[in-house]
Structure 1
Amino acid sequence: MERNKRIIKIGLVLILIFILVYLILRLRIFDKDSVLNILLSGKERTRFGIFFILLVGLLMIFLVPLSWFSPLAAFFFGLKGFIYVVSGAIIASIISFIIARVFRKDIINIINKIYYRKKRKIDLDEISTQIEKYGFGYIFFMRSMPFIPFSIANYVSGISSVSFKDYIFGTILALTPSQIINAYFFVKAINISHRPLDVLVAALIKGVYVLTIILWQRKSKYNAKE
Structure 2
Amino acid sequence: MLKKVLFFIVLFLVLGFFYYFDIFMFTSPVEIKEYVLSFGIYAPIIFIILFTIVPLTLFPDALLAIAGGLIFGLYEGSLYVMIGALCGATLSFYISRIYAAWIKKKLSNKKLINLDKNAKENGFLIIFFLRLVPLVPFDIISYSAGFSSIKYRDFILATCIGIIPGVVVYANIGAQSFDLGSNGFYIAVASLLALIVFSMMFKNKLEKRLYENN
Q: TM-score, normalised by structure 2?
A: 0.81
User: 1:76-120 CA deviation, whole Å, 9 max, x = no partner?
Assistant: 1111211111110101111221121111111222233xxx7xxxx
- Aligned partner of 2:190 in structure 1 is 204
Alignment of 1:73-222 (within 5 A): 73-80=68-75, 81-112=77-108, 123-124=110-111, 126-129=113-116, 132=119, 134-193=122-181, 195=182, 197-217=183-203
| Corresponding residue to 2:22 among 22, 27, 47 | 27
On the 8 A contact 2:115/2:210 being kept in 1, the answer is no
Q: Could you say what secondary structure the match of 1:128 adopts?
A: coil
How far, CA to CA, are the matches of 1:204 and 1:34 in structure 2? 21
CA distance in 1, matches of 2:44, 2:158: 25
Secondary structure of 1:183 counterpart: helix
Q: CA deviation at 1:187?
A: 2.3
Structure 1 range deviating more: 216-225 or 198-207: 216-225
Of 5, 9, 31, the residue aligned with 1:14 is 9
Equivalent runs, 1:40-51 vs 2, <5 Å: 40-44=34-38, 45-51=40-46
- Asked if the contact 2:94–2:146 (Cα under 8 Å) also holds between the matched residues in 1, the reply is yes
1:70 matches 2:65: yes
Percent of matched pairs sharing the same residue: 22
- For normalisation by structure 1, the TM-score amounts to 0.78
Rg larger for: 1
Letter in 2 for 1:132: A
Which runs of 5 or more residues in structure 2 are unaligned?
none
State the AA in 1 paired with 2:104.
I
Does structure 1 retain, via aligned residues, the 8 Å contact 2:70–2:171? no
| SS at structure 2 position matched to 1:190 | coil
CA RMSD of aligned residues (A): 2.9
Aligned length: 209
Q: Which runs of 5+ in 1 are unaligned?
A: 1-5, 117-122
Contact 1:39 1:52 in 2 (8 A): no
